[in-house]
Amino acid sequence: MGAQLRIYRRRMRSVKATKKITKAMELISASRIVKAQQKVSASSPYARELTRAVTAVASYSNVNHPLTTESEKPIRAAVLIITADRGMAGAYSNAAIKEGDQLIELLKARGLSVNTYLVGRKAVNFYRFRNRKIANSWTGFSDNPTYKNAKAVSDELIKVFIADAQTDPNGVDELHIVYTEFVSMITQNPQAKRMLPLEVVESTATTGLLPMYEFEPNAGEVLNALLPRYIEARVFNAMLQSAASEHAARRRAMKSATDNADELIKSLTRLANAARQAEITQEISEIVGGADALASANAGSE
Amino acid sequence: MANLTVEVVSPEKRVWSGEASMVSARTLDGDLGILPNHAPLLGVLVDGKVKVKAVDGAEQEFEIHGGFISVANNRVSILGES
């Protein structure tokens, strides 16, 4: 076997092994997308009821709450960016980080200073590599977030929101979240949304008349207890959607890696075949040439 | 007499749903007993047990932390963190 043939065979073996790995990752990601979507729909009854309750309190009482009051002169904003912990997810994390950068530019243009909060090792590494300041970060759960994780993140964010931005260097006047919305299996888009202060939108078109609720013990207490839960639920929803988007992006990336490996194997096979045939041809011509030379040498000596 | 449609939900999933004849819970103001045709109500729950008396007589108990109860039109929703 010639040297060239051996090289081709070695390369084919390694590409085939890689293809097995990427194919396995593609299938695992595909099954995880489905699970992540189920988690999103399982969490929606809670989110729906909570939203209805908050709407009810907000519309039937004029309770002011620190979480709904806009500051007249905002000086600092907090931005939460949700990315992945692991790689091989194509452009997923980078797209979210880029969207976060654009949002930060916008906020800076308005005259606000920005504190950044990160979820996901990819964002943490990105920021650390560029020596950017990180206010706080959480890692380890980006592909399978639980409500506890969402609670930990939103507890900290609510705390810095309630703190007075003028006196406390950690306090912020606004909170924005950058996450990747899972529109469908094919479409996932990074989104930047403002979470706090919550806007009480006067809408004349209500989805059915809300009943005249009584509030126990009183509207203020109910709002006090409901609003942090509402923020937690929205952060949780953002995390779940980001997780689903991460799996979808990884599935796509692994699928194209597998397809590329296939192409490579095909072209290497052709090259290996050509090399094998060239070798055989060379052997045959050597034999024929040798036999010919022998025959003419014998004929000459006679 | 009409029954209550009860849903007990946590942020991660719907824990229980079904028909009940009575729901009892404890709020910051005291114990609540919800019977069919109760007035609409939104309340903050004290951490503890919520009892649901199902139509088939079985009594379900749920341990709720950081919860709310919402009653309207014979629909009772109990939201809790765990």
Q: Does A233 touch chain B (CB under 8 A)?
A: yes
CA distance A110 to chain B (A): 36
Determine the residue of chain B that is closest to A148 in CA distance: B81
Q: Please give the mean pLDDT across all residues of chain A.
A: 88
pLDDT over threshold 90, residue B31: no
Architecture, CATH, for domain B4-79: Sandwich (2.60)
What is the DSSP track for chain A?
--HHHHHHHHHHHHHHHHHHHHHHHHHHHHHHHHHHHHHHHHHHHHHHHHHHHHHHHHHH-----TTTPPPSS--EEEEEEE--SSS-STTHHHHHHHHHHHHHHHHHHTT-EEEEEEESHHHHHHHHHTT---SEEE-S-TTS--HHHHHHHHHHHHHHHHS-TTT-TT--SEEEEEEEEE-SSS-EEEEEEEEESPP----S--SSPPP--EEES-HHHHHHHHHHHHHHHHHHHHHHHHHHHHHHHHHHHHHHHHHHHHHHHHHHHHHHHHHHHHHHHHHHHHHHHHHHHHHHHHHHH-
pLDDT over threshold 80, residue B57: no
CATH 3.40.1380.10 fits A63-250, yes or no: yes
A180-231 per-position pLDDT tens digit: 999 988 899 999 998 888 776 655 445 556 667 777 777 777 888 888 888 8
**Angle (deg, nearest 10), helices A147-162 and A219-301:** 120
Q: Is the dihedral of CA A250, A254, A257, A259 positive or negative?
A: negative
Mutation target among B6, B7, B8, B9 for the A interface, most CBs of A within 10 A:
B9
pLDDT of residue A95: 94
Write down the ipTM of this complex: 0.84
Residue boundaries of the structural domains of chain A:
63-250
Q: Does A249 touch chain B (CB under 8 A)?
A: no
Q: Please indicate whether, in this complex, the C-beta atoms of A147 and B10 are within 8 angstroms of each other.
A: yes
A2-27 per-position pLDDT tens digit: 788 999 999 999 999 999 999 999 99
- Measured in residues, chain B has a length of 82
A60-91 per-position pLDDT tens digit: 766 677 777 787 888 899 999 999 999 899 89
Q: Which two tokens stand for residue A209?
A: 């008349």
Point out the residue among A46, A47, A216 whose CB comes nearest to the CB of B43: A216
Mutation target among A37, A40, A49, A158 for the B interface, most CBs of B within 10 A:
A49
Residue boundaries of the structural domains of chain B:
4-79
CA B71 to chain centre: 8
- The model carries a pTM of 0.86
Size of interface A-B (CB pairs under 8 A): 84
CA distance B40 to chain A (A): 5
Q: Does A148 touch chain B (CB under 8 A)?
A: no
CA–CA distance, B78 with B69 (Å, rounded to integer): 5
Single-letter residue type at A66: P
The CA-atom distances, in angstroms, between B1 and each of B23, B36, B74 are: 15, 8, 11
Determine the residue of chain B that is closest to A230 in CA distance: B11
Q: Please indicate whether, in this complex, the C-beta atoms of B11 and A57 are within 8 angstroms of each other.
A: no
Q: Does A72 touch chain B (CB under 8 A)?
A: no
Single-letter residue type at A118: L
B36-52 per-position pLDDT tens digit: 888 888 888 888 888 88
Q: Are A192 and A93 in contact (CB under 8 A)?
A: no
CA distance A30 to chain B (A): 21
Q: Which two tokens stand for residue A65?
A: 């709450």
Q: Are A174 and A197 in contact (CB under 8 A)?
A: yes
Determine the residue of chain B that is closest to A240 in CA distance: B12
Q: Please indicate whether, in this complex, the C-beta atoms of A42 and B13 are within 8 angstroms of each other.
A: yes
* Residue A234 CB partners (closer than 8 Å, separation 6+): A47, A177, A195
Q: Are A153 and A235 in contact (CB under 8 A)?
A: yes
